[in-house]
């Protein structure tokens, strides 16, 4: 990447290499935009799909086949987490969701890896989708029931759950291969006396 500068003698534009510090400063902003942009997309898809489910399905009816006998459509209102765990302490699950959202928002600027930006964006979008149900749906704040309608047999979920599961798998893979949120691989730190790029010794 190059940028145009001015020759002080002729006052004519001269092509030259971009300032590395400017390029580096733009990267964190890109990761943050991807993270929050993806979160918004997941949140919208989740809420729109729930509106569709409530308008097209009736709670209590048997599942409609979607992918044969593997996946169906069945509307329920879940007061707990996955597999209805914690159905008697919905407010605790709400607090946990709020904590997750706040932690991600405060830590977003530390992400320096595109795969991590995507994974964390999926988690944030999924958490916000289900949190919105708990805050604004019946029976009321902060114990609203989550709209679930994708029937897998053992459990019923929604788009937010899919995003969270995909993110969990991605994060597990990133951790396994040793890539941290800062984009660095474990054990790849520069040796003492060398620059960050490992090209020349530092004075």
Cα–chain-centroid distance for residue 49?
Answer: 18
Catalytic residues, by residue number, are 148, 161
For 30, the enclosing helix (H) or strand (E) is helix 20-56
For the chain, what is the radius of gyration of the CA atoms?
Answer: 23
SS3 178: coil
Q: Would you say 156 and 76 are in contact if contact means Cβ atoms under 8 Å apart?
A: yes
Joined tokens for residue 180: 């941290």
Secondary structure of the chain: what % helix, strand, coil (to 5)? 50, 15, 35
């Amino acid at each position: 990447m190059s940028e145009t500068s001015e020759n002080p003698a002729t006052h004519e534009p001269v092509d030259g290499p971009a300032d590395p510090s400017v390029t580096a400063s733009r990267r964190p902003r890109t990761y943050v935009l991807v993270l929050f942009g993806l979160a918004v997309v997941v949140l919208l898809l989740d809420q729109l799909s729930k509106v569709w489910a409530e308008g097209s399905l009736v709670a209590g009816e048997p599942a409609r086949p979607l992918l044969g006998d593997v996946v169906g459509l069945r509307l329920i209102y879940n007061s707990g987490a996955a597999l209805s765990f914690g159905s008697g302490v919905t407010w605790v699950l709400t607090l946990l969701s709020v904590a997750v959202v706040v932690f991600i928002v405060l830590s977003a600027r530390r992400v320096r890896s595109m795969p991590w930006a995507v994974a964390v964006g999926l988690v944030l979008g999924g958490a916000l989708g289900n949190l919105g149900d708990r805050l604004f749906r019946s029976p009321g704040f902060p114990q609203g029931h989550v709209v679930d309608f994708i029937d897998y047999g053992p459990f019923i979920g929604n788009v937010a759950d899919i995003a969270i599961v995909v993110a969990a798998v991605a994060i597990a893979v990133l951790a396994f291969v040793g890539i941290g949120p800062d984009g660095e691989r474990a054990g790849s730190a520069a040796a003492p006396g060398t620059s960050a790029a490992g090209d020349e010794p530092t004075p």
